[in-house]
Chain A
Amino acid sequence: MKSSVIIFPGSNCDRDMDVALKKFGFKNKMVWHDDNELPKSDLIVLPGGFSYGDYLRCGSIAGKSNIIKSVIKFAQSGGLVLGICNGFQILTETGLLPGILQQNKNIEFICKNVHVKVADKSNKYFKNIKKEILELHIAHNEGNYFCSNNDLKFLEDNNQIAVKYCNAKGNCNLESNPNGALKNIAGVFNKEKNILGMMPHPERMIDKYLSGEDGALFFQNLIGNLG
């Protein structure tokens, strides 16, 4: 399976993602944002970081970069596109995913492990994952998901909510919502579920000694579903 990770000026999780993808069997290539063409890929990843210094709005400038035109084309033809953290922000700014990531409700940068509940398994990203609750890492200042009432209804009606913040027991409540996100939403799909954007970083949870391995489950499962 071939993957490509896009590097924007200010991306800082690109190499972590490269390590994670390779560890679980992807042949990964790094692609510069100013390139026009994507290498042949089964999966495109927009990594975390602070593309273009978060100028204007997080992800807004990256959303207009050269390579994004090819990413949009790839996504619209059914290709798998995964956006993590800043990558999620970029996906909302391009309009590939609905809504926007606003500043965290408490105006603080949050960097900690959280639990998320897998809300939908009828997709290539989470199908066959045995666990219902994953422990993943978040590190963001703008992770407070918001969308219009119409978009929310559409998301709910089509099971497009991918993961929700919850506590260790799987309860999604105010206490387990780290950033004020609407309905505890931590990640969403497009209608066809080939595009996934989420704030938590699975690439940071792939080593049992350093972190925990719930991120490893995510990548193992993903490559398994692509075979």
Chain B
Amino acid sequence: MKIKVIVTLKEGVLDPQGKAIQQTLNGMGFSSVNQVRQGKYFDVEVDDSDETKAKEKVEDMCKKLLANLVIEDYKII
């Protein structure tokens, strides 16, 4: 089973790469872009067949490794 995880920076945490991407997009003529926040996406393949249990495990992985909760939030989708 494949579980998808998105890790994003928390609101208010500085994202210099996102800012550079936004400025580049503005420079390319995409003038309506007023913010870009860059994040990470993970496909986690697990052997479990029970989706609820698998997601619980992945949540544990997020807390322990995939995200740093000081600055990041995670979403399991």
| A residues whose Cβ falls under 8 Å from a Cβ of B | 56-57, 60, 64, 92-93, 98-100, 102-107, 144, 146-148, 151, 180
Contacts and interface: CB of A to CB of B under 8 A. Distances in A.
B68 A105 contact: no
A144 B14 contact: yes
Interface of B: 13-14, 16-17, 20, 65-66, 68, 70-71
B16 A105 contact: yes
Contacts of A92: 70
B20 A107 contact: yes
| Closest 5 pairs (CB-CB, A-B) | A100-B70, A107-B16, A100-B71, A100-B68, A103-B16
B76 to A, nearest CB: 17
B16 A146 contact: no
Nearest to A108: B16
Residue of B14, B20, B65, B70 with most chain A CB atoms under a 10 A cut-off: B70
Nearest to B19: A107
Contact of B14 (A56, A98, A180): A180
Contacts of A106: 16
A106 B65 CA distance: 26
19 contacts: A56-B65, A56-B66, A57-B68, A60-B65, A92-B70, A100-B70, A102-B14, A102-B71, A103-B17, A104-B16, A105-B14, A106-B16, A107-B16, A107-B17, A144-B14, A146-B70, A146-B71, A147-B70, A151-B70
Contacts of A64: 65
A93 B68 contact: yes
Residue of A56, A92, A98 with most chain B CB atoms under a 10 A cut-off: A56
Nearest to B67: A57
Given A98-B70, A102-B14, A146-B13, 19 more contacts: A56-B65, A56-B66, A60-B65, A60-B68, A64-B65, A92-B70, A100-B70, A100-B71, A102-B13, A103-B16, A103-B17, A104-B16, A106-B16, A107-B17, A144-B14, A146-B70, A147-B70, A151-B70, A180-B14
Contacts of B14: 102, 105, 144, 146, 180
